[in-house]
Amino acid sequence: MADDWVAVGKAITARLDELGMTQLELAAKSKVSPATIRELQYNKLPRRRHPRTLEAVSTALEWPAEYLNDVLAGKKAKPYEDERSDQVLGVLDEIQDQLTEIRARLAAVEQQLAREDGSSASR
């Protein structure tokens, strides 16, 4: 799977909003340059970064150190330690997974119907 820099940028943007933090505050707290923060947040110059860069940003955003590396890898990242033991969140994760599967199946059915519609219209 390719690195998902767009997801990393969205996660950073959402968390900055949630914490009421600016890019400059994040840069100072993480000890990562403001230019790098900007590149990460807006997906400018997507390229391989040292894992410690994302770890520093994750920690500064009050997430576990591996959080943004997990987001980048497309893994199901858990931002908060207490989520691991929360049964309700576990059930919600299962429901979300099922909903994702249902959406994929629905999209396949819609595509099939569209193809069938197109072929019957050309007859």
In whole angstroms, give the CA distance from residue 107 to residue 112: 9
Taking only the tens of pLDDT, the chain with its 123 residues reads: 578 999 999 999 999 999 999 999 999 999 999 999 999 999 988 788 888 999 999 999 999 999 999 999 998 777 665 555 667 767 887 888 898 899 999 999 999 999 988 877 666
CA-CA-CA-CA torsion sign (60, 66, 71, 77): negative
The rounded distance, in Å, linking the Cα atoms of 123 and 108 is 23
Tokens of 86: 């929360």
pTM: 0.63
Residues 6+ apart with CB under 8 A from 33: 27
